[in-house]
Amino acid sequence: MATLIDGKKISTQIKDELKAKVEELQKQGTSVTLAVIQVGNDPASTVYVGNKKKACEYIGIKSLAYELPETTTQEELLDLVKKLNEDPEVNGILVQLPLPKHIDENLVIQTISPKKDVDGFHPQSVGALSIGQRGFVSCTPSGIIQLLKRSGIEIEGKECVIIGRSNIVGKPMALLMLRENATVTICHSRTKNLKEVAKRADILIVAIGKPRFINHEYVKEGAVVIDVGIHRDENNKLCGDVDFDDVLDKVTAITPVPGGVGPMTIAMLMNNCVESVL
Ligand code: GUN
């Protein structure tokens, strides 16, 4: 019987631990504040930002919402980021992506102070991760490490195959698994013999953005499968990058969609916010 890795339960555990930490900090006179900036009103972004604000409220983190119109200029956004960088009351700054096309996302990310970069997207944060120094780590990959550890899944010495090489998930995921002493392979759209490579994995992490792409032919008997994808299928049902029903008999543990990796991203964002004051 495969174990279901319960991201909802584990993320609640983490948020409850953080809530206790924030209460403790407040007793010592320290509060935690996150500034959340959204430009325009992309419906998915509005949902994500709303969930982030709710999580802040639950934990006791103060959130400052900046809801800017689609017509905001790059200059105006950069000025706001710079103002928040200088504001001693603000511990973390999050600019929700994607930004409107007339704004250079990389420039905005680079303008956020690495000390307040709770998304872990700044080149300095990414560089620190790659050489094992302190810095904020991207939330989805660090959430996956927590899912594995808190489910008692050993990482050290394991063959880990990651499908997807994005800056937000695939690449930092590989660095974190390496830090945990796994043997790491990254696959992408040009990988030859993807099925054979994926089948080497003791831990298979899938972030390719294609609904139900990974079936039993890609999975070794006894593997642990982590599914980062989230899509709506033709019947409007949520599904991941992995064909859950098709692989279930082969795996020892798997994350469901929804309720697997998804809730962990916000929990780790909250964790980064608390760490920003420590
Ligand atoms: N858009 C989709 N995911 C994320 C995220 O983790 N952080 C930010 N800032 N924007 C996003």
Q: Among residues 21, 96, 158, 241, which one is catalytic?
A: 96
Domain tally, the chain = 2
Place of tokens 């320290």: 30
pLDDT at residue number 171: 98
Give the atom of ligand 1 at the shortest distance from the alpha carbon of 97: 10
Ligand 1: distance of its center to the CA of 115 in Å?
18
pLDDT at residue number 137: 98
pLDDT at residue number 238: 97
Query: Confidence band (pLDDT; 50, 70, 90) for 172?
Result: very high
- Would residue 226 count as lying in a domain? yes
Ligand 1 close to Cβ of residue 119 (< 6 A): yes
Ligand 1 close to Cβ of residue 180 (< 6 A): no
- Would residue 3 count as lying in a domain? no
Contact 202, 223 (CB under 8 A): yes
Query: Confidence band (pLDDT; 50, 70, 90) for 259?
Result: very high
Give the tens place of pLDDT for each residue, 5-42: 999 999 999 999 999 999 999 999 999 999 999 999 99
Distances (CA, A) of 245 to 200, 213, 240, 255: 21, 12, 11, 12
- Would residue 7 count as lying in a domain? no
Give the atom of ligand 1 at the shortest distance from the alpha carbon of 94: 9
pLDDT at residue number 173: 98
Ligand 1: distance of its center to the CA of 121 in Å?
9
Kindly state whether residues 172 and 90 are assigned to the same domain. Answer: no
Residue range 68-81: mean pLDDT, rounded: 98
101 burial class (0-12, 13-18, 19+ CB within 10 angstroms)? exposed
Ligand 1 close to Cβ of residue 139 (< 6 A): yes
Give the tens place of pLDDT for each residue, 91-130: 999 999 999 999 999 999 999 999 999 999 999 999 999 9
Ligand 1 close to Cβ of residue 268 (< 6 A): no
Kindly state whether residues 53 and 143 are assigned to the same domain. Answer: no
Kindly state whether residues 87 and 147 are assigned to the same domain. Answer: no
**3-state class (DSSP) for residue 233:** coil
Q: What percent of the chain is predicted at pLDDT more than 90?
A: 99
* Domain's final residue, options 115, 149, 173: 115
149 is catalytic: no
Give the tens place of pLDDT for each residue, 175-202: 999 999 999 999 999 999 999 999 999 9
pLDDT at residue number 235: 96
Per-residue tokens: 131: 């050489």
Ligand 1 close to Cβ of residue 269 (< 6 A): no
Kindly report the CATH number assigned to the domain that includes residue 233.
3.40.50.720
Q: What is the pTM for the complete model shown?
A: 0.97
Q: Judge if the upstream peptide bond of residue 69 is cis by omega within 30 degrees of 0.
A: no
Give the atom of ligand 1 at the shortest distance from the alpha carbon of 138: 6
- Would residue 196 count as lying in a domain? yes
52 is catalytic: yes
CA–CA separation, 97 and 109 (whole Å): 10
Ligand 1 close to Cβ of residue 144 (< 6 A): no
The boundaries of the domain holding residue 149 are 139-262
Kindly state whether residues 174 and 237 are assigned to the same domain. Answer: yes
Q: What percent of the chain is predicted at pLDDT more than 70?
A: 100
Cα atoms in the 13 Å half-sphere on the side-chain side of 213? 19
- Would residue 127 count as lying in a domain? no
